[in-house]
Amino acid sequence: MLSAKMEDYLKTVYELQCKGDGPVSTSSIAETLDVTPPTATSMMEKLEERELVEREKYKGVTLTTEGETVALEIIRHHRLLETYLAEQLGYDWGEVHDEADRLEHHISEEFERRVADVLDDPDVDPHGDPIPTESLDPVEESAGETLSEHVEGDRVIVQRVRDRDSEELAYLEDHGITPGTQLVVEEVAPIGMVTVRLADDNTVSLPDAIAGAIRVDEATDRSEADSAV
Protein backbone atom coordinates (compact mmCIF):
# COMPACT_ATOMS: atom_id res chain seq x y z
CA MET A 1 0.00 0.00 0.00
CA LEU A 2 1.26 3.45 -0.93
CA SER A 3 1.50 6.28 1.57
CA ALA A 4 -0.29 9.60 1.00
CA LYS A 5 3.13 11.21 0.51
CA MET A 6 4.03 8.73 -2.24
CA GLU A 7 0.75 9.44 -3.99
CA ASP A 8 1.42 13.19 -3.75
CA TYR A 9 4.78 12.71 -5.47
CA LEU A 10 3.25 10.62 -8.25
CA LYS A 11 0.54 13.23 -8.80
CA THR A 12 3.18 15.95 -8.96
CA VAL A 13 5.35 14.02 -11.43
CA TYR A 14 2.31 13.47 -13.65
CA GLU A 15 1.37 17.16 -13.67
CA LEU A 16 4.95 18.25 -14.37
CA GLN A 17 5.37 15.55 -17.00
CA CYS A 18 2.33 16.90 -18.85
CA LYS A 19 3.92 20.35 -19.01
CA GLY A 20 7.17 19.18 -20.61
CA ASP A 21 8.47 16.89 -23.31
CA GLY A 22 10.82 14.67 -21.33
CA PRO A 23 11.78 13.38 -17.92
CA VAL A 24 10.89 15.49 -14.89
CA SER A 25 13.87 16.83 -12.97
CA THR A 26 14.24 16.19 -9.26
CA SER A 27 14.73 19.92 -8.69
CA SER A 28 11.35 20.77 -10.24
CA ILE A 29 9.66 18.10 -8.10
CA ALA A 30 11.34 19.48 -4.99
CA GLU A 31 10.36 23.06 -5.85
CA THR A 32 6.73 22.13 -6.51
CA LEU A 33 6.38 20.18 -3.26
CA ASP A 34 8.53 22.61 -1.25
CA VAL A 35 11.03 19.96 -0.15
CA THR A 36 14.80 19.70 -0.52
CA PRO A 37 16.26 18.03 -3.64
CA PRO A 38 17.79 15.21 -1.54
CA THR A 39 14.34 14.51 -0.04
CA ALA A 40 12.80 14.35 -3.52
CA THR A 41 15.64 12.11 -4.75
CA SER A 42 15.12 9.72 -1.83
CA MET A 43 11.42 9.42 -2.65
CA MET A 44 12.15 8.84 -6.34
CA GLU A 45 14.40 5.96 -5.34
CA LYS A 46 11.58 4.41 -3.31
CA LEU A 47 9.11 4.84 -6.16
CA GLU A 48 11.60 3.34 -8.61
CA GLU A 49 11.92 0.28 -6.35
CA ARG A 50 8.15 -0.12 -6.57
CA GLU A 51 8.33 0.23 -10.38
CA LEU A 52 6.18 3.35 -10.35
CA VAL A 53 8.80 5.61 -11.96
CA GLU A 54 11.79 5.15 -14.22
CA ARG A 55 14.88 7.25 -13.57
CA GLU A 56 17.41 8.47 -16.11
CA LYS A 57 20.69 9.62 -14.62
CA TYR A 58 21.21 13.39 -14.95
CA LYS A 59 17.85 13.72 -16.73
CA GLY A 60 15.02 12.95 -14.32
CA VAL A 61 12.09 10.59 -13.96
CA THR A 62 9.06 9.45 -15.92
CA LEU A 63 6.06 7.56 -14.65
CA THR A 64 5.60 3.92 -15.53
CA THR A 65 2.17 2.79 -16.71
CA GLU A 66 1.32 1.73 -13.17
CA GLY A 67 2.62 5.00 -11.74
CA GLU A 68 0.51 7.00 -14.19
CA THR A 69 -2.59 5.02 -13.23
CA VAL A 70 -2.04 5.78 -9.54
CA ALA A 71 -1.49 9.48 -10.30
CA LEU A 72 -4.64 9.72 -12.42
CA GLU A 73 -6.72 8.04 -9.73
CA ILE A 74 -5.56 10.55 -7.12
CA ILE A 75 -6.15 13.44 -9.51
CA ARG A 76 -9.66 12.12 -10.20
CA HIS A 77 -10.35 11.88 -6.46
CA HIS A 78 -9.02 15.38 -5.89
CA ARG A 79 -10.99 17.11 -8.62
CA LEU A 80 -14.22 15.24 -7.92
CA LEU A 81 -13.89 16.21 -4.26
CA GLU A 82 -13.26 19.85 -5.17
CA THR A 83 -16.42 19.84 -7.27
CA TYR A 84 -18.47 18.09 -4.59
CA LEU A 85 -17.31 20.50 -1.90
CA ALA A 86 -18.16 23.52 -4.06
CA GLU A 87 -21.46 22.33 -5.51
CA GLN A 88 -22.93 20.27 -2.70
CA LEU A 89 -21.42 21.71 0.49
CA GLY A 90 -21.16 25.38 -0.41
CA TYR A 91 -17.39 25.73 -0.15
CA ASP A 92 -15.81 28.74 -1.84
CA TRP A 93 -13.64 27.78 -4.83
CA GLY A 94 -10.62 29.15 -2.99
CA GLU A 95 -11.16 26.73 -0.10
CA VAL A 96 -11.65 23.44 -1.91
CA HIS A 97 -8.06 22.69 -2.94
CA ASP A 98 -6.62 22.26 0.54
CA GLU A 99 -9.68 20.34 1.75
CA ALA A 100 -9.52 17.97 -1.23
CA ASP A 101 -5.78 17.49 -0.63
CA ARG A 102 -6.58 16.15 2.82
CA LEU A 103 -9.36 13.82 1.64
CA GLU A 104 -8.13 12.51 -1.72
CA HIS A 105 -6.01 9.68 -0.28
CA HIS A 106 -8.70 8.27 1.96
CA ILE A 107 -11.89 7.78 -0.05
CA SER A 108 -12.97 4.35 -1.34
CA GLU A 109 -13.79 3.60 -4.95
CA GLU A 110 -17.44 3.19 -3.96
CA PHE A 111 -17.43 6.69 -2.44
CA GLU A 112 -15.79 8.03 -5.60
CA ARG A 113 -18.51 6.45 -7.77
CA ARG A 114 -21.27 7.88 -5.59
CA VAL A 115 -19.76 11.36 -5.68
CA ALA A 116 -19.45 11.15 -9.47
CA ASP A 117 -23.09 10.02 -9.75
CA VAL A 118 -24.35 12.86 -7.54
CA LEU A 119 -22.43 15.35 -9.69
CA ASP A 120 -23.56 13.71 -12.97
CA ASP A 121 -19.96 12.73 -13.77
CA PRO A 122 -18.52 16.22 -14.48
CA ASP A 123 -15.76 16.85 -17.01
CA VAL A 124 -14.04 19.67 -15.11
CA ASP A 125 -13.66 20.90 -11.53
CA PRO A 126 -14.53 24.42 -10.28
CA HIS A 127 -11.21 25.80 -11.54
CA GLY A 128 -11.69 24.34 -15.03
CA ASP A 129 -9.19 21.50 -14.56
CA PRO A 130 -10.17 18.31 -16.43
CA ILE A 131 -11.34 15.38 -14.31
CA PRO A 132 -9.96 12.00 -15.43
CA THR A 133 -12.68 9.54 -16.41
CA GLU A 134 -13.48 6.45 -14.37
CA SER A 135 -11.31 4.45 -16.80
CA LEU A 136 -8.40 6.80 -15.87
CA ASP A 137 -7.59 7.98 -19.37
CA PRO A 138 -4.81 10.60 -19.46
CA VAL A 139 -5.94 14.23 -19.30
CA GLU A 140 -4.52 17.29 -21.02
CA GLU A 141 -2.95 19.36 -18.26
CA SER A 142 -1.45 22.11 -20.39
CA ALA A 143 -4.27 22.86 -22.85
CA GLY A 144 -4.77 26.46 -23.93
CA GLU A 145 -2.48 29.46 -23.76
CA THR A 146 -2.03 31.64 -20.73
CA LEU A 147 -3.65 35.06 -20.67
CA SER A 148 -0.18 36.61 -20.44
CA GLU A 149 0.65 35.21 -23.91
CA HIS A 150 -2.05 37.31 -25.58
CA VAL A 151 -1.82 40.78 -27.06
CA GLU A 152 -4.03 43.86 -27.06
CA GLY A 153 -7.33 43.32 -28.87
CA ASP A 154 -7.45 39.56 -28.39
CA ARG A 155 -10.82 38.15 -27.34
CA VAL A 156 -10.58 35.09 -25.15
CA ILE A 157 -12.61 32.76 -22.95
CA VAL A 158 -11.23 31.66 -19.59
CA GLN A 159 -10.83 27.88 -19.47
CA ARG A 160 -8.80 27.18 -16.33
CA VAL A 161 -7.46 29.04 -13.32
CA ARG A 162 -4.60 27.87 -11.11
CA ASP A 163 -6.06 26.51 -7.87
CA ARG A 164 -3.14 26.75 -5.41
CA ASP A 165 -3.51 30.32 -4.10
CA SER A 166 -6.75 31.08 -2.22
CA GLU A 167 -6.13 34.84 -2.14
CA GLU A 168 -5.51 34.86 -5.88
CA LEU A 169 -8.75 32.93 -6.47
CA ALA A 170 -10.72 35.26 -4.18
CA TYR A 171 -9.40 38.27 -6.11
CA LEU A 172 -10.38 36.77 -9.47
CA GLU A 173 -13.83 35.75 -8.25
CA ASP A 174 -14.45 39.22 -6.78
CA HIS A 175 -13.74 40.64 -10.24
CA GLY A 176 -15.86 38.06 -12.09
CA ILE A 177 -13.01 36.15 -13.72
CA THR A 178 -13.90 32.45 -13.58
CA PRO A 179 -13.99 29.60 -16.14
CA GLY A 180 -16.35 30.56 -18.97
CA THR A 181 -15.76 34.31 -18.58
CA GLN A 182 -15.14 36.15 -21.85
CA LEU A 183 -12.48 38.86 -21.85
CA VAL A 184 -10.96 41.40 -24.21
CA VAL A 185 -7.29 42.23 -23.69
CA GLU A 186 -7.27 46.02 -23.40
CA GLU A 187 -3.63 46.72 -22.59
CA VAL A 188 -0.38 44.84 -22.06
CA ALA A 189 1.82 47.20 -20.08
CA PRO A 190 5.64 46.95 -20.07
CA ILE A 191 5.55 47.10 -16.27
CA GLY A 192 4.13 43.58 -16.12
CA MET A 193 0.37 44.22 -16.04
CA VAL A 194 -2.38 42.92 -18.32
CA THR A 195 -5.63 44.86 -18.36
CA VAL A 196 -8.77 43.06 -19.52
CA ARG A 197 -12.34 44.20 -20.14
CA LEU A 198 -15.31 42.11 -18.99
CA ALA A 199 -18.87 41.82 -20.24
CA ASP A 200 -20.08 44.62 -17.95
CA ASP A 201 -17.41 46.96 -19.40
CA ASN A 202 -15.45 46.89 -16.16
CA THR A 203 -11.72 46.58 -16.55
CA VAL A 204 -9.33 44.64 -14.34
CA SER A 205 -5.55 44.95 -14.30
CA LEU A 206 -3.73 41.73 -13.50
CA PRO A 207 -0.04 41.25 -12.68
CA ASP A 208 1.79 38.94 -15.09
CA ALA A 209 2.06 36.31 -12.35
CA ILE A 210 -1.74 36.06 -12.16
CA ALA A 211 -2.31 36.43 -15.91
CA GLY A 212 0.14 33.57 -16.39
CA ALA A 213 -2.00 31.39 -14.11
CA ILE A 214 -5.12 31.81 -16.26
CA ARG A 215 -5.48 29.52 -19.28
CA VAL A 216 -7.69 30.76 -22.08
CA ASP A 217 -8.91 29.86 -25.53
CA GLU A 218 -9.60 32.34 -28.30
CA ALA A 219 -13.26 33.32 -28.61
CA THR A 220 -14.19 31.51 -31.81
CA ASP A 221 -17.62 33.13 -32.19
CA ARG A 222 -16.88 36.83 -32.64
CA SER A 223 -20.53 37.87 -32.44
CA GLU A 224 -20.83 36.09 -29.12
CA ALA A 225 -17.65 37.72 -27.87
CA ASP A 226 -18.89 41.13 -29.02
CA SER A 227 -22.15 40.68 -27.16
CA ALA A 228 -20.20 39.79 -24.04
CA VAL A 229 -18.26 43.05 -24.07
pLDDT tops 60 at residue 171: yes
> Averaged over 55-76, what is the pLDDT?
95
CATH number for 145-228: choose from 3.40.50.280, 2.30.30.90, 3.40.50.1970, 2.60.120.620: 2.30.30.90
> Where along the chain do the CATH 1.10.10.10 domains lie?
1-142
pLDDT tops 80 at residue 224: no
Per-residue pLDDT of 96-144, as tens digits, reads 999 999 999 999 999 999 999 999 999 999 999 999 999 999 887 766 7
Q: Which range is least confidently modeled, 35-39, 41-45, 181-185, 221-225?
A: 221-225
Rg (CA), the chain: 19
The residues pairing with 187 across neighbouring beta strands, listed in sequence order, are 195
> Where along the chain do the CATH 2.30.30.90 domains lie?
145-228
Per-residue pLDDT of 30-60, as tens digits, reads 999 999 999 999 999 999 999 999 999 889 9
> Residue 20 has what pLDDT?
78
> Residue 219 has what pLDDT?
87
pLDDT tops 80 at residue 165: yes
In this prediction the pTM is: 0.88
The Cα–Cα gap between 87 and 79 comes to 12
> Residue 143 has what pLDDT?
67
Work out the mean pLDDT of the chain and round it to a whole number: 92
Which residues, 6 or more positions from 97, have their beta carbon under 8 angstroms from its beta carbon? 82, 163, 164, 166
Instruction: Decide if 153 contacts 185 (C-beta within 8 A).
Output: yes
Is domain 1-142 in CATH 3.40.50.300, yes or no?
A: no
> Residue 150 has what pLDDT?
94
Instruction: Decide if 217 contacts 229 (C-beta within 8 A).
Output: no
pLDDT tops 50 at residue 225: no
pLDDT band at residue 228, thresholds of 50, 70 and 90? Answer: very low
Write the secondary structure of the chain as one string of H (helix), E (strand) and C (coil).
Answer: CCCHHHHHHHHHHHHHHHHCCCCECHHHHHHHHCCCHHHHHHHHHHHHHCCCEEEECCCEEEECHHHHHHHHHHHHHHHHHHHHHHHHCCCCCCCHHHHHHHHCCCCCHHHHHHHHHHCCCCCECCCCCECCCCCCCCCCCCCCEEHHHCCCCCEEEEEEECCCCHHHHHHHHHCCCCCCCEEEEEEEECCCEEEEECCCCCEEEEEHHHHCCEEEEECCCHHHHHHHC
The residues pairing with 196 across neighbouring beta strands, listed in sequence order, are 185, 204
pLDDT band at residue 222, thresholds of 50, 70 and 90? Answer: low
pLDDT tops 90 at residue 164: no
Instruction: Decide if 166 contacts 94 (C-beta within 8 A).
Output: yes
